[in-house]
Structure 1
Amino acid sequence: MMPILILAAGSSSRMRGRDKLLERVDGEPLLARQIAMAQSISHDVRVALPPAPHPRHAIAAKSGARCVIVPDADEGMGASLRTIFDTLRTEPYAMLLLADLPDISADDLRAVQNAVQDAPDALIWRGATADGQGGHPIVFHHSLFPAISKLSGDDGGRGVVQSAGTRVHLVPLQGNRARLDLDTPEDWAAWRAARQIT
């Protein structure tokens, strides 16, 4: 079974006191939604979290997902990636999912997961926008885990993706959902307004 690793240790620094992962989507906090969605396709869901105390801990613990504390979460995304990939052992693949992508669906996760069999020569299988821009979720081959475990600072793994060269298989998802994150209150207001129109 492919583990799904959810990054949820960021600070929501641009939300001016609100936590974007606690914003409600379809009646529940975004983080709870993302965990439940991941659990619908994998029994091995691990969530990178900031140090306690933090409200996200209660959501993750209630879900039954494996909580992975990132003691140096303030360092940036590199710390979260390094810490959560260090929990992997003999798994041949792992899927990385950012917690703040509210339009991603379980079908999107399945599409990227299934691409591993469809394009077996790749090292990375990556969700993309409809016009071909790489986004999330991303499945990594185990041969790339050591490089990810060495990331630091705010390095989101771009160099690891680039190192795979032509062995990156893009999986187009509907619209911009593979890249649409909501970082500010204005982003959330615009997204909610657009949902009411459609």
Structure 2
Amino acid sequence: MTVVALVLAAGQASRFGADKRSASLPDGRSLLAHSVERALAVFDEVRVVLRDGERAEAFGLPAGCRVIHSPQAALGMGHSLAAGAASLVDSQAQALAILLGDMPWIAPETLRALSDAASASSILFPIFDGQRGHPVLFGRQFWPALTQLTGDEGARAVVQANRDRCITLDVVDAGVLRDVDTPEALRL
């Protein structure tokens, strides 16, 4: 089973107070570069959704990822997700892992376990300490619905319409719940 990763990184980050994608982690890499490198360590292909006109080099992204631009990113995460999903017409993968660019602490072992549990006909969520986390993996059968998303609710509508196809995987990785919304979160 091949899984393509889609890293969503076209949001406005209004709670952070600046462009958090460029914020430095203790090792000097940008938040976004670290998140993308984690994905590249596990997935055969990684695509990163950026705002229209942005370049990978501006965030120190590795050469191994493909940038997808979301012209309507300012209208919400649904638009960015739709742009990323629409780019998959050339992909042979059977599942899509949707990662958030502000979640750099998900362990590679967790990403591998999720990839191994994915299927073309399910929506897979990691569960840590009873809470649903990220990334969410969508089987290929749901990709057409993802291309139709709008607004700021991400893929919630696709999940709700297909609850009977949702499965979970218990993980021992708090990174599936930990994102960066404020500068203080980088120091924890």
- Superposition TM-score, scaled by structure 1 size: 0.83
Q: Which moved more, 1:105-114 or 1:160-169?
A: 160-169
Hey, what's the Cα distance between the residues in 1 that align with 2:170 and 2:20?
26
Distance 1:23 1:148, change over 3 A: same
Give the Cα separation in 2 of the matches to 1:24 and 1:167. 38
Q: Aligned equivalents of 2:176 and 2:41: distance in 1?
A: 19
Aligned partner letter, 1:94: L
Asked if 1:65 corresponds to 2:71, the answer is no
Q: Which runs of 5+ in 2 are unaligned?
A: none
Indicate how the Cα distance of structure 1 residues 64 and 175 shifts in structure 2: closer, same or farther if over 3 A, else same.
closer
Match of 1:10, SS state, is: coil
Q: Say yes or no: does 1:49 pair with 2:50.
A: yes
Which residue does 2:128 correspond to in 1? 129
Residues 55-79 of structure 1 deviation map (CA, whole Å, 9 limit, x = unaligned)? x553365433100011111011001
Q: Is the 8 A contact 1:123 1:141 kept in 2?
A: yes
1:32-181 superposed matches below 5 A:
32-53=33-54, 57-59=57-59, 62-89=62-89, 90-116=92-118, 123-131=122-130, 133-174=131-172, 176-181=174-179
Gap change, CA 1:48 and 1:97, over 3 Å in 2? same
1:154-179 per-position Cα deviation (integer Å, ceiling 9, x unaligned): 12111211222232121223354212
**CA 1:159–1:128 in structure 2 vs 1: closer, same or farther (change >3 Å)?**
same
Q: Could you say what the CA RMSD is over the residues aligned between the two structures, in angstroms?
A: 2.1
| Inter-partner Cα distance in structure 1 for 2:72 and 2:47 | 17
8 Å contact kept, 1:2–1:93: yes
Q: Is the 8 A contact 2:106 2:173 kept in 1?
A: no
Cα deviation, residue 22, structure 1:
1.8
SS in 2 for 1:95: strand
CA distance in structure 1 between the partners assigned to 2:120 and 2:104 by the alignment: 30
Matches of 2:41 and 2:15 in 1, distance apart?
A: 30
Partner of 1:169, secondary structure, is: strand
| Identity across matched positions, percent | 33
In the TM superposition, what are the counterparts of 1:184-195 in structure 2 within 5 Å? 184-188=182-186, 192=187, 194=188
Contact 1:130/1:175 (8 A) holds in 2: no
